[in-house]
Copies of this chain bind each other. A is one copy, B any other.
Amino acid sequence: MKSLKWMVMLMLVSVAAAAQQQRYVQYVNPLIGTAKMGHTFPGATVPFGMVQLSPDTDTIQYIDKGKYNPDVYKYCAGYQYADKSIVGFSHTHFSGTGHSDLGDFLVMPTTGELKLNPGVATVARSGYRSAYRHESETARPGYYSVLLDDYQVKAELTATERTGFHRYTFPASNEAHILLDLVHGIYNYPEKNVWTFVRVENDTLITGYRQTLGWARTRTVYFAMTFSKPFKSYGSVNEKQEMYGGFWRKFNQKQNFPELAGRQLKLYFNFDTKANEAVQVKMALSAVSTAGALHNMQAEIPHWNFDAVAQAASDKWEQELQRIQIEADLTTKQNFYTAMYHAFIAPNVFMDVDGSYRGLDQQVHKAQGFTNYTTFSLWDTYRALHPLYNLVQQQRNNDMVQSMLAHYDQSAVKMLPIWSHYANDNWCMSGYHSVAVLADAFVKGVSTTGIDKALAACVATANKSSYEGIGEYIARGYIPAEKSGTSVSNTLEYAYDDWAIAQLAKKAGNTAVYETFMQREAQYKNVFDKDGFVKRKNALGQFLPNADLLSTHGQGLIEGNSWNYSFFVPHDPAALIQLMGGKKAFVARMDSLFTMYLPDHYFAETEDITREGIIGTYVHGNEPAHHVPYLYNFAGAPWKTQELIRRILPLQYKPTPDGLGGNDDCGQMSAWYIFSALGFYPVAPGSGSYEIGSPIIHHAVLPLENGRQLRITVQHQSEKNIYVKQVLVNGKPIAGTSITHDDLMQGGEIVFVMTDKKTAQQLAKKLN
């Protein structure tokens, strides 16, 4: 592992030296996706870092007066571009999710009258929040800054892996404050805070922790926070009157009292500042202890040189972006590198500098021989994000595989993660797609040790009969509608996952498991009606009547309709084509999908997307259909795939704040862009192959972790030449419409010969 990392470093350094004029961070705009549905955040983070220090622009509650408040949804990442005020800067954020949590440890600089509530967006100066304008806002990888207009304070943020670094430039004031609001959170509600504990260790150092009950049920984050100069005084409020009397009878905890605990704590630190004086703050996190947080801080930023840390953050991003060096038009580079940026924000390192981390069993563990990661939005990311890592983040993906296996070891229910973050599984979405991540990693040789253990974990997870209809699926071959609200999509997803397990078993040489799961993978057929559409089936084996093929509600499908989901057999398109009546019929079905008009009321009920996110009724903004545009390849009409890809790319991805067609989903949408821009896509992770699409780049160089270099050359690239005449792998034309992982990893050159002729091409040989 170490020598591989060294080889990677050497390769990157030499390539970077060669491309020294070319830095890619300049093309990244973190504001992309921060408006509307993208749900990205603009703040400072380093690749896969534990800290995401970013501005939050509102405090809408998840549960308000006992009811779910739908307005909270916009704030999954804490920030909406259209908002006019900033509440403060908190240290943890998801990127692009459709539900949320985090927003820990909000820090806010203010001047003048002390206000301890954030106020409301609609009333100026109603609390400690401040108005701001985008004109005085800067966001680039590893750095964010904004002028807080109400206080004339310039806020700058940067970060290392576990430490947020703030620089606040104040006007002259003897009423300068820095607030630490431990009540604030994303997807907050009155009882979300389980406990908060804070110690003011001295006049520059504060430590503590907060436990919350949210999307993660038992989540505790520890912090150590230090100021660049001593505060002159400080105070606190606890907005929830607590029972116990000893502390509040014997002490005035509101002023300069260093030992605080309770459920609704806020602290404020008072300073005198001269004009243009900068007060800096470092806040490090840990999931293990405050001692761990402090140690993380001392290891990562043992000084106060903000600019050096910001430069280092930028350099870390540059180093990652250099893994794929493209030549393309400016818009494409902006989209592409912002997509890479988004694809490398999460999963997040989840261990202290000493390797300690909190496991799913809430115990402290030491990661031996791997880096522990968290934030596995697996329903989204198994599709293209982890396959992207198997190409350009192999060491990290292997660490993520090890992290998932550790999760399994620590699981009381003996399952691999479903949707996990911060030492919890929140069980969100469907399927058991961690098996696809494991299969793809082992099949592609990215993970090599412990395959039998990995296979056993996959089998145990896929055999968890009591979970989400798995028992029915195993016993009957499908899930009856009575048993699950997503009986149909679950059946389809399990079938694909089972096929992935079979690939892993084949790699492991385990014939028994291979046979079992190849028998299971075929069960997708059981939810296809005679008309070739997936529909709900009851316990008697009868399809329910009156299926609404365009509706995403009540059809036994999660985040999609039957028109889209009926194409979800990514592991066996040939069989799917047969099931749908042959290639001609299949092509006609695909054509309808991409051209029909979706009535408004169907659009309204479709989650997480914009109107622009729909082509026909194909919903790019939600993942189940991500592989679908590539399926024309299997039906002898690859040029249709190529047309679509060239249509989706500019439609769904624009380098503007509202430019993302749907939630970025922890990088999955971005990974789709990256692959598609390069010209190929992993339709079925676990297969080791990629389907050809239509690249929009001119050229790409990928310095691979195995020490080799892959070059992608696109000849005759233009807006008209969207069709692929031929693909050559190291000079040899490919026979069909796919290339293999080995083709990529051997290095050398892949050439796409583009043309404007929509004629049967060499790539269409499969038609007959």
| A interface residues, Cβ below 8 angstroms from B | 62-63, 189, 191-192, 194-195, 197, 199-201, 209, 211, 213-215, 217-218, 242-244, 246-247, 249-252, 257-259, 261, 289-291, 361-364, 411-413, 425-428, 466-468
Inter-chain contacts of A259 with B (CB < 8 A): 411-413
A426 to B251 CA separation, bound complex (whole angstroms): 12
> Are A195 and B197 neighbours in the complex by a CB distance under 8 Å?
no
Indicate whether A217 sits within 8 Å of B246 (C-beta atoms), given known contacts A258-B413, A289-B364.
yes
CB of B246 within 8 A of CB of A213, answer no
| Contact between chains at B189 and A211 (CB < 8 Å) | no
Across the interface, which residues of B come within 8 angstroms of A250, CB to CB? 427, 467-468
Across the interface, A246 reaches (CB within 8 A) one of B242, B247, B289, B426, namely B426
Contact B258 A218 (CB under 8 A): no
A194-B195, A195-B211, A251-B427 are known contacts; what are 16 more A-B pairs with Cβ within 8 Å?
A: A191-B243, A197-B218, A213-B244, A214-B243, A215-B246, A217-B242, A217-B244, A217-B246, A217-B247, A244-B426, A246-B426, A250-B468, A257-B413, A259-B413, A289-B363, A289-B364
If A251-B467, A290-B363 touch, whether A242 touches B261 (CB-CB below 8 Å) is no
Query: A258 to chain B: which residues have CB within 8 Å?
Result: 412-413
Interface pairs A-B: 4 shortest CB-CB: A246-B427, A258-B412, A259-B412, A246-B426
List chain B residues, Cβ under 8 A from A197.
218, 362
* Bound CA–CA A63/B242 (angstroms): 12
**Which B residue sits closest to A419, measured CB to CB?**
B246
Q: Which residues of B contact A213 (CB under 8 A)?
A: 195, 242-244
Q: Please give, as numbers and ranges, the residues of chain B lying within 8 Å of A195 by CB-CB distance.
A: 194-195, 211, 213, 218
- By a CB distance below 8 angstroms, the chain B residues around A426 are 244, 246
Residue of B nearest to A430 (CB): B250
Give the distance to chain B from A60, nearest Cβ to Cβ, in Å. 15
- Residues from chain B with a CB closer than 8 A to the CB of A412 are 199-201, 258-259
The minimal Cβ–Cβ distance linking A339 to chain B, given in whole angstroms, is 29
Chain B residues, CB < 8 A from A242: 213, 217
User: Which residue of chain B has its CB nearest to the CB of A257?
Assistant: B413
Complex Cα spacing A189 to B243, Å:
9
**A296 to nearest B CB, angstroms?**
15
**Docked-complex contact A427 and B289, CB < 8 angstroms:** no
Contacts A197-B362, A289-B363 given: A192-B243 contact, CB under 8 Å? Answer: yes
B467 touches A214 (CB 8 A): no
Residues of B within 8 A of A191 (CB): 243
A362 to B293, CA, bound (A): 14
CB distance from A394 to the nearest CB of B (A): 31
A194 to B243 alpha-carbon distance, docked (Å): 12
Chain B residues with CB below 8 A from A200, complex form: 412
The distance in angstroms between the C-alpha atoms of A108 and B261, with both chains bound, is 33
CA distance A501 to B62 in the complex (A): 56
Bound together, the chains give a CA A290 to CA B358 distance in angstroms of 13
Q: How many angstroms from the CA of A353 to the CA of B610 in the assembled complex?
A: 59
Q: Is the CB of A249 within 8 A of B427?
A: yes
User: Can you report 25 A-B residue pairs in the complex whose CB atoms are below 8 A from each other?
Assistant: A63-B243, A194-B194, A195-B195, A195-B211, A197-B362, A199-B361, A199-B412, A201-B412, A213-B242, A214-B243, A215-B244, A217-B244, A217-B247, A217-B261, A218-B261, A244-B426, A246-B425, A246-B427, A249-B427, A250-B467, A251-B467, A258-B413, A289-B364, A290-B363, A291-B363
CA distance A200 to B251 in the complex (A): 42
CB distance from A2 to the nearest CB of B (A): 30
Shortest distance between the CB of A414 and any CB in chain B (Å): 9
A325-B361 Cα distance, complex, nearest whole Å: 50
> Closest B-chain residue to A426, C-beta based?
B246
Contact partners of A201 in chain B: CB under 8 A: 412
Which residue of B is nearest A361, CB measured?
A: B199
Complex Cα spacing A430 to B622, Å: 64
Residues on the B chain within 8 Å of A257, using CB: 413
Query: Which interface residue of A246, A289, A425, A468 has the most chain B CB atoms within 10 A?
Result: A246
What is the CA–CA distance of A411 and B466 in the complex, to the nearest angstrom?
49
A366 to chain B: closest CB distance in Å? Answer: 12
Chain B hits for A261, CB < 8 A = 217-218
A41 CB, nearest partner CB in chain B, Å: 23
Closest to A249 in B: B427
Are the C-beta atoms of A428 and B289 separated by less than 8 Å?
Answer: no
Given contacts A218-B261, A261-B217, A364-B289, contact A247 B63 (CB under 8 A): no
Cβ of A489 to closest chain B Cβ, rounded Å: 15
A362 to chain B: which residues have CB within 8 Å? 197, 209, 290
Please, which residues of chain B bring their CB within 8 A of the CB of A194? 194-195
- Measured in the bound complex, the distance between the Cα atoms of B199 and A534 in whole Å is 39
Alpha-carbon gap, A215 to B246, bound state (A): 8
**Residue of A62, A201, A249, A361 contacting most chain B CB atoms (<10 Å):** A361
Determine the chain B residues whose CB is within 8 A of the CB of A244 once the complex forms.
Answer: 213-215, 217, 426
The docked-state distance in angstroms from the alpha carbon of A24 to that of B139 is: 78
**A167: shortest Cβ distance to chain B, in Å?**
28
Q: Kindly list chain B residues whose C-beta atoms are within 8 Å of the C-beta of A466.
A: 251-252
- Determine how close the nearest CB of chain B comes to the CB of A519; give it in whole angstroms: 26
Cα separation A233 to B463 with both chains bound (whole Å): 20
Q: Look across to chain B and name the residue whose beta carbon is closest to the beta carbon of A190.
A: B243
Which residues of the partner chain B approach A192 to less than 8 Å between Cβ atoms?
243
Bound: A261/B426 CA distance, A: 13
Which single residue of chain B is at the shortest CB-CB distance from A410?
B199
Complex CA distance for A361 and B259, rounded to whole angstroms: 9
Closest to A258 in B: B412
A428 and chain B: residue at smallest CB distance: B246
* Most chain B beta-carbon neighbours within 10 Å: one of A199, A243, A426: A243
- CA A468 to CA B251, docked complex, whole Å: 8
| A428 to B244 Cα, complex, angstroms | 11
Chain B: CB-nearest residue to A425: B246
Shortest Cβ gap from A29 to chain B (Å) = 34
Q: How far is the CB of A274 from chain B (nearest CB, A)?
A: 31
Residue numbers in B under 8 Å from A289 (CB-CB): 363-364
Shortest Cβ distance from residue A418 to the other chain B in the assembled complex, whole angstroms: 8
Q: Which residue of B lies closest to A250 (CB)?
A: B427
Among the interface residues A201, A289, A291, A412, which one has the most CB atoms of the partner chain B within 10 A?
A412
- Rounded to whole angstroms, the CA-CA distance of A242 and B215 in the bound complex is 11
Instruction: Name the residue on B nearest A192 (C-beta).
Output: B243
The distance from the CB of A236 to the nearest CB of chain B, in whole angstroms, is 13
The CA-CA distance from A673 to B468 in the complex, in Å, is: 66
- A73: shortest Cβ distance to chain B, in Å? 15
Q: How far is the CA of A214 from the CA of B425 in the complex (A)?
A: 30
CA distance A74 to B305 in the complex (A): 61
Q: How long is the Cα–Cα vector from A199 to B258 in the complex, in angstroms?
A: 35
Residue from A290, A362, A411, A428 whose CB has the most chain B CB atoms within 10 Å: A362
